[in-house]
Structure 1
Amino acid sequence: MSSDQRWRLLRPAFSILFFLFFLPHNLTFGLCFSTDALALMKFKERIERDPFGALMNWGELSHCSWSGVVCSNDGRVVILNLRDLSLQGTLAPELGNLTHLKSLILRNNSFSGKVPEEVTELQELEILDLCDNNFGQPFPFSSNGRRLLQVTSPPQPPPVPPPPPQLSDVPDDANKKTSQKTKTYIIVGVLVGVFAVMAVLVAFFFLWNQKVKMIKPWGATGSSGELQDVVTTGVPKLKLAELETACEDFSNIIGSTSSDATIYKGTLSTGSEIAVLAVASGSLQDWSVDHETQFQEKRLSQVNHKNFLNVIGYCHEDEPFNRMLVFEYAPNGSLFEHLHDQDAEHLDWPMRLRIVMGIAYCIEHMHNLNPKPISHTNLNSSSVYLATDYAAKISDFTFLSSTPLDPMTNVSSFGALLQEIITGKIPDPDSLLHDETKPVADPSLKSFQEDVMERLWEVVKECLNQKLEMKEVVVKLREITGITPEAALPSRSPAWWAELEIISTEM
């Protein structure tokens, strides 16, 4: 028998031993992962009001990519920062299951009720900031050198003496027998669980032996090397070869940007479509420190709004040199095409109102991001794409921008965009909208609500004159259209990364 044949016979045994050796660690990691995620979802269930949609992405991807959540490298929640979001509700006792939590910041919200003792008893907690909320009573805590903040610092109650020990009526021998039975039950339960997990692992082993390699959901994939960052565990690093295959050797060009970046369309093995922005190629020597810093900032920026084309992956390779960002793909093209291309599908009046509200809600969300608000760098009809159900998906492919924009610039840009959606004409940047200007509807509209259009026209003028902030614009538009944030969202979430499979040709 040759050495290769002996190895083929022994390989399954070595594989099973390998799984058993790492079994305790894997079980512990999986349990910790699900425990932290469940605790956060219990917290979300008690939120009665979320005006900015801050927790909208909770429940998607990995919990480490949710808004306000920061995890350690092993997936444990260490920071929960939801300050200044006007959240209303009560605190869930399950927050006490976040045993690795070091910082809990809920300042300037509208939480009420009682602070659970499970929260104040967290051993790893170093910062607890509950200022400017509506908690009805002080809560007991022991600082132990930690920085704990609340509305007022209540006087500490005198220590309660421990109750006297109670004598048991059960003889010592009976106690020992009961303890032994309990230990026996525990051991049997653990063994049954281990054998059950072994059976599952053996099944996975046979699948693996069939040369099928499963890639983890991207929400659970971490980055490595210099790009490793605890905040971005939800954005995976991809290989150039993977993107090259998806984009057909980068032959499917669908656009470009003002910073000379090229946009490719790609299709994964599952049939899901992506947009790949190639921001640089050539040599590392031509890539400055400033370029690398802005690439990292773009990669790390997460708007986390379903009306926004988010970064869902990136490619960072030095040999051959490439810097790429992977975005969601909106299959129905840009808003510009539907407004000005005669061959594109017609947008009726209700579709246009829903698109307007999707854009408005998303821009308002960007302006209220914490801790760093974001302004769109070039808001126009070409930067708005349409999802399968024609909901708005705002893109921001601008790269290497030099100066941050004033949020009021977005307000005036939104006014010009709203004018373009109503009239079907490209706004003239050299002419201002005068008060006496009357609205003229797009001739391609077969029907529209004239009273609604006139009220929208007033909003156009106020935006172009920068008389409103974006949150005020949203309030007026919602009153006019009656479209809620949920109604403006795409009906389907592009969670294709959780289904990604790659058939490997080698073990």
Structure 2
Amino acid sequence: MTPLKLHHFLLLMFIFFFFFFLLPSSHAQTPRQANNTGFTCTGTRTCAAYAFYRASAPNFLDLAAVGDLFEVSRQMIATPSNISSVSSALVEDQPLFVPLTCSCNPVNATFGSLSYANISYAIQPNDTFFVVSTYKFNNLTTYPSVETVNPTLVATNLSIGQVTIFPVFCKCPDTNNTNYMISYVVQPEDNISSIASAFGVQEQAIIDVNNDTLYDYDTIFIPVEQLPSLSQPAVAPAAPPGGNGSDTGSGSGKDRTGTVRGLGIGLGVVGMLLVLVGGVWLWREFVMKKRLGYEDEEEEGGRKKVYSGGKEGQKADFDVKLMANVSDCLDKYRVFDVEELVEATDGFDSRSLIEGSVYKGEIDGELFAIKKMKWNAYEELKILQKVNHGNLVKLEGFCVDPEEANCYLVYEYVENGSLYSWLHEERKEKLNWKTRLRIAIDIANGLQYIHEHTRPRVVHKDIKSSNILLDYNKRAKIANFGLAKSGMNAITMHIVGTQGYIAPEYLADGVVSTKMDVFSFGVVLLELISGKEAIDKEGNLLWASAIRTFEVDSEQEKARRLREWMDKDILRETCSMESLMGVLTVAIACLQKDQSKRPSIMDIVYALCKSEDLGFDISDDGLGSPRVVAR
């Protein structure tokens, strides 16, 4: 290989490894998981157990890192894993047995006690419950289970260094011929026969402990009398010492020289790229800090961030800089004073709290929804300033408090609260089908606006019933653009969103596109039809249930199942079954695993309007009466 070719090869390898290590693993918690909360248990028994863990790049390719994650020593992993040296480097997907102390832990009145190994983990930058349980713990625990055993923590407001319990699923044996239970995460290529063969146990033994149905990335338990011997990859031999060329064949010294030169060139290119990337990163950090008006100041006892214009007389200058950096269009928003917002919410009293960190406040006789947050609203403001549509919650203004480093976004107050509360909480008044269908069309219109009429296109990334608000006429508005992204077809490592609504391609590969909003919207349509939540208390996913239920060819059978499956409040009405079937068809189309097969939002709006015409006679004011349809 010539030096030039080697140089190109090394450059391509660098790019490959760069993306390989940065992109998330596809071993994600998929919607096929059967158990999301945990495994119930009784008693107070504690036992030794093991987790089958796969080494993963970039952070868990040595025993020290894996040991720190599970709070065990390197030797405690090396011995049962058939690894001779605790300092050995690991390779991607290398199998390990990690020892666990399994116990039955009381949780709450709803779940009783759950069986798990209690692992303490300190939150790191960009961590979420979902990311840590999926990628770091290899799906040996789940996001809902972490929430369940950490009831005092707010998943959307985690602090770096905050110690969190991650319940790694495990089980104690209940038979005399079983010494250990191995926690194993099912892979897509697995079946009961292959798992039994790999661990040297009978298939029936696995079925007795679990059941005869496997779900991708679900945890099952393998009963064993003794741990099987893991087959570890061979260690690559060390390169032979280099000679002076006298003991080599003709031309080998020249080849080695060319290789060394090529390697030098390749490493030089890699070094330059790293310097370039580092320089861009440092420049970005510097610019962003300047934007926010902060500077780092060295103080005795550690570093402290101080506001460069922290004096009272410079606050106005800070606000001017902030507005200029966010957008040239921010003059259309009202800039509130902190004192106004504090007075409006009675000092952000809990009695004014609507949900999360959003408070209800009255200013000059007008009601507002005030979202309080640490200064991380730059992206949200950047997106909100370029959207304006009747089916999106309107941003009225904002406020920055440099002394507390808080930012407040002030929205219009939407009187009737969230769609979630209307569908899933106790209310005397129920939403009829006509209202539900109109809500669906409103949401679709709002999505069509952000998907088709903004440049670059905006992806909301968190469409769910709790982010849909209803005004006094019960018309829908999309709220909460905190996770929204401007631009599409990007790939991210930082998986965010709400379990039960997340599109499979985003969950597995971090692909961001408008089609992920389409998937989430399909789940909301199912909520409107069924009255069921996106994920129930047992961790069952509504969309997976719908697909299983309606995988039939007969339209008559599908209609029969729909009557059994739909919200009983709708059944009490007289409305068009054609309309209901039309919306169900749209919902199922939105939930295609292959995003390219999902309809565009424009097609969805058209189809929903057709369903509305089938069910109702629309008058000039947009209201109509249900048609009488025999059941």
TM (norm. structure 2) is 0.37
Q: TM-score, normalised by structure 1?
A: 0.46
